[in-house]
Amino acid sequence: MPGSAIENENEHNEHCGTTTTSRLRKFDKQLLDQAAPTSYMDEDDQIEYIHTLNLYNLQQYMLYMRWVMYLYTVEIIATIATQLVAKEAHIVNLLFLLGICLNIICIIQLPRDLIKFKKWIVVVTAVITLQVAWIDVVVQPRYYMAGLSLVNFVMPRLFQRWFESVGESVEQLNGLKYKYKNV
């Protein structure tokens, strides 16, 4: 009996080893198939693919900005509700709402006449964010408004920087196009 248990264990190990080996072979084959393309794209397909990547990047940017706008809407409603419950105006809440409104202005597409003021709006928003943080940390130590205002200021700019970086990388693909004609 002990010999048969060892034989069963050896058979099991051999079976598992074969399964593991075949899985590894399948995985290696998939990697090799992806790494070495068997067909090349002609120039029109490359242009179409680059256009598709640009479109996808823009769609993702718009989706993230939509979520940021939803977050701002919730914050505005919560801040106004807090003001109504408190029945007294806190300057930090008013500055916080002003900072959100200026962030929204920076996110939306501004007309060409107002684009030159965007940098000034960002500077004013940064000053308001610092004021909210200072009031919330030093004057009335609650700390949550300081964190929220800093996140509100940094988040859309960070998303914009990421998507601009991806857009620049996709644009660099234009320089890497190769000539290939299907016969």
pLDDT at residue 180 in the model = 62
The rounded distance, in Å, linking the Cα atoms of 22 and 147 is 52
Chain segment 58-105, per-residue pLDDT in tens: 898 889 989 999 999 999 999 899 888 887 778 888 899 999 999 998
Q: Which of 35-39, 71-75, 110-114, 136-140 has the highest mean pLDDT?
A: 71-75
Query: In this predicted model, which residue has the larger pLDDT, 157 or 86?
Result: 157
Region of poorest pLDDT, from 16-25, 79-88, 131-140: 16-25
Region of poorest pLDDT, from 3-7, 55-59, 155-159: 3-7
pLDDT at residue 124 in the model = 94
Confidence (pTM) = 0.65
The pLDDT mean for the chain works out to 78
Mean pLDDT, residues 18-39 taken together: 57
The rounded distance, in Å, linking the Cα atoms of 6 and 13 is 10
The rounded distance, in Å, linking the Cα atoms of 20 and 75 is 52
54 Cβ partners below 8 Å, 6+ apart?
A: 167, 170, 171
110 phi, psi to nearest 5 deg: -85, 150
pLDDT at residue 43 in the model = 73
Buried b (16+ CB within 10 A) or exposed e, 135-149: bbeeeeeeeebbebb
The yes-or-no verdict on residue 153 having pLDDT over 90 is yes
- Residues 177 and 41 sit within 8 Å (Cβ to Cβ): no
The rounded distance, in Å, linking the Cα atoms of 49 and 88 is 57
Please give the structure tokens belonging to residue 110. Answer: 């501004």
54 phi, psi to nearest 5 deg: -60, -45
Chain segment 100-129, per-residue pLDDT in tens: 999 998 888 778 887 788 889 899 999 999
* Burial (CB count within 10 angstroms: exposed 0-12, middle 13-18, buried 19+), residue 124: middle
The rounded distance, in Å, linking the Cα atoms of 37 and 79 is 55
The type of residue at 151 is V
The rounded distance, in Å, linking the Cα atoms of 39 and 7 is 49
